[in-house]
Structure 1
Amino acid sequence: MARGVKWGCSYKKTTLIVCSVNIVIALYVLRSLYGSLYLYSNDDLANAVKYTPDEISKMEESIRIRRASEPTKLKKLVKKLKFEFGERDIVELPAGVKHNLTNEILQRLRSLSGDASINEQRGLLVKALESDWAVLSENIGLWIPAEVTNPEQDDRPEGQEEQEEETLPGPPVPQECHAELHTDYDGVAVRWGLTHRKESAADCCQACLDHAKRAKPGELQCNIWVYCPAENGCYSPDIYEHKNMECWLKYAEKPKLNFKDRYSEAYRNSHPNAPVVVPWAAGVVR
């Protein structure tokens, strides 16, 4: 007896068949989409409006004429007026003046007799609410000047002239010395002022310039001068007594102030002998 042949499919064959069918379907869908897109694009190109060179030239001429006919001067004038009016400050009455006006209105209302007409009371309130301060102040008898001028008062005693600008004694200090009154700069002393005196601040500055010129390579060159112009000597927080005409020559890579103009109150509290004003004069030469 002959046996029948069995046809069977394995798992791998089944998977391969299903994948092949899916690929065929996907390719068909893509082909359909591409065909419709190509069809629509051709229709759009066919329906597009085409202009002749003469029509394009006329359109450009029309645009040029329209731009030339625009009222540019008028637009600039309007813009300028808006800018000018926009910059004007709105002047308002101070809060104190408005408060006084309010009190005046209340007093006026209280002073109305009991048989005063409602229209009279209503009219006064309407004026107040509308904030027409010019008319309202005239009605209630309040006068506010349009412009208030505050003259400058001269409190000096009679015969006393204005104090002249303070200057250093002696010849004028050259501009290159950058002289500063009531100033003390810090720095490394290249020439001690205790044994180095000059007749004037100008001479002290010149000594600093000469020192910088004569300095040998590797030596510190003077770029700061500090001079004591006070006849009674100059204060310093060190142990020495600094006398008139002392000329200190110093060097600093970045000059830094010790004191300027006045000693602070805190400093004078901790240094009772310190004066109020810095007595030294100094300058930085470059």
Structure 2
Amino acid sequence: MARGIARAVSFGGRATAGWCSYRRVTVAVCLGNLVAALLVLRSLTSHASFAPPAPNLGEVVLYTEEQIRMVEESIRIRREAEPVELVQEVKKLRKFFAREEKRRKELPLVLKQKVSYNIVGRLRDLGDNISVSEQREALDSWRVETLKDIKHASTQNQSSLGLSGEEARMLKRALEFNWYMLMEDIGLFIPEEVMHIEHDDKPENEPEEEEIIAGPPLSPQCNAELHTDYGGPAVRWGLTHHKESAADCCQACLDQAKNAKPGEMKCNIWVYCPSEFGCYSPDKYEHKHQECWLKHDDNPKLNFKDKYSESYRNSHPTAPVVVPWMSGVISA
């Protein structure tokens, strides 16, 4: 019996040793890891199961007949409220003014010079002591007379200004629709007639501060005047004519007058913008630093001098206190 028990124990030990082999232990560990991974994955996906379902983008929303009727009614009311006729008229006006602006820009330089000579001659005949209102009346009278002359001379293909038929037609449209723009193109500006009241609040015996102008010194022939803006028909358009200094602008005026061809206006007025912030002007353009205007006028007249009056600044809120331009009338 003892031998039998010993044999049984020996057999059990061999069986246990066979079951605990390295291969079976490795398989058991792998199975345990797999079960753990499945449990972790289940715990992660279980949270997503509580999230609200995503909307179905392909789902069609059904409206009731009453809702559809209300939507159609609102669309009808909105369309009826639109100022269709007004919008169409505005579009027509925009097209019209765009065509007129294009035609104004197409006016030849020779035609603009003829108009400038004729207007300057009309103003010169009135004398030097005429008021601003008288100048405006003279210009309006010249415009009306010129339009009548062009209409009467249309059959003869020649006007008293010496214009051809095509030039007369172009000038007629400019006088009828672009009169103020034409005056800007030829450099003619009639300032408003205002009362200039001087306010001197500076203490007595206080020395004047000398203003420094950048660039080389100006020639005495330039007759430079600070804070001054002279008028007159433009010989050279300043928006596209910039100079490094006031001296260069004055020299450009002298050179133009020296090299002008017969029949051309000779520069005798220069107007320069020395301010780095640009210079104010009552027209529609933005005048920038170093603009140099070359003008001609047999009787130069001031637009503005030293300071803009209080009444002028009240009617022109964007105007500064001090005139930013500097000008000069070339001495012969």
* TM-score interval, smaller chain: 0.3 to 0.5
For normalisation by structure 1, the TM-score amounts to: 0.43
Please say which structure displays the higher CA radius of gyration.
1
Higher helix share: 2
Higher strand share: 1
For normalisation by structure 2, the TM-score amounts to: 0.37
